Amino acid sequence: MFYGIDLPGRLMLGTAQYPSPAILRDAIAASGAGVITVSLRREGQGGGAFRQILRDSGCRILPNTAGCHTAREAITTAHMARELFGTDWIKLEVIGHADTLQPDPFALVEAARVLCAEGFRVFPYTTEDLIVGERLLEAGCRVLMPWGAPIGSGQGLRHVEALRTMRAHFPEVPLVIDAGIGAPSQAMAAMEMGFDAVLLNTAVARALDPVEMARAFGQAVSAGRLAYRAGLMPRRDMAVASTPVFGQAVLA
């Protein structure tokens, strides 16, 4: 549940880089996504036809501040997004490094504090750093979105143990893996670890068949969540026979 809203699907899908509006529309439908993200820069390029696809999808729209490099720029973009899309949900991105697209933790917390005070429901794109996570929660965020790997890299979960630690450290906070996911198996792994959702874009939009890839990711996220809830067996250092030895007949 995110800010009191129980979403129908745990996949969050980006809307950039698709070969055509029709493929974007079909990919959203195939994915079963509960949320679709959109930046003001992308929306401005698509015009009315793009907005119609968003409305027809039936998904909750999560505008983002993609491309912002300062707190002030992100805050201004968030206000514009709220006016345009009629939602107080905002995915907050404040980029601090041009090559890795790593978020600037100082500007991120600054912007989050302002936006939360103004009534926004902030979804901050962050790293797996626990201290930054604590500061974002203190600022008013009720969701954290740690990266799996740099945006668009397809590297998957680069720091698995750090992400496990974050999940354990914030047991009651909704956590969404955001960025770096390149394969359905990576999304499933995140869900098996207990994360609440996965957000991705490039892995679907740039696939040879975006619609089928969107379907694959939707199924992977669902399967990972089911596996987590069912309870994965623990890893063992030694083999454990699945057939008991005691009570069996002894053939001489």
Q: E strands, 78-127, where?
A: 89-92, 121-126
Contact 55, 28 (CB under 8 A): no
Q: For tokens 């063992």, what's the residue?
A: 236
pLDDT at 45: 52
Paired sense of beta strands 197-200 and 121-126, if any: unpaired
- 249 a known binding residue? no
- 202 a known binding residue? yes
Band (194; pLDDT cuts 50, 70, 90): very high
Q: CA of 208: how far to CAs of 129, 203, 242, in Å?
A: 35, 10, 42
pLDDT at 46: 53
pTM for the structure as a whole? 0.90
Per-residue pLDDT of 85-114, as tens digits, reads 999 999 999 999 888 889 999 999 999 999
Indicate whether 249 pLDDT > 70.
no
Q: For tokens 């995140």, what's the residue?
A: 190
Residue 215 in tokens: 């379907």
Indicate whether 74 pLDDT > 70.
yes
CATH superfamily label, 11-230: Aldolase class I (3.20.20.70)
- 70 a known binding residue? no
Phi, psi of 11 (to 5 degrees): -100, 130
The domain spans of the chain are 11-230
Indicate whether 245 pLDDT > 70.
no
Indicate whether 123 pLDDT > 70.
yes
Torsion of CA 157, 161, 167, 170, to 10 degrees: -130
Which one from 91, 113, 135, 215 is the annotated catalytic residue? 91
Contact 205, 173 (CB under 8 A): no
Contact 199, 37 (CB under 8 A): yes
Q: For tokens 């949320």, what's the residue?
A: 35
Q: Is 236 a catalytic residue?
A: no
pLDDT at 134: 98
Residue 68 in tokens: 């912002």
- 29, with CB counted inside 10 A (0-12, 13-18, 19+), is middle
Spell out a b/e string for 146-174, using b for 16 or more CB atoms within 10 Å of the CB, else e: bbbbbbbbbebbeeeeebeebbeebeebb
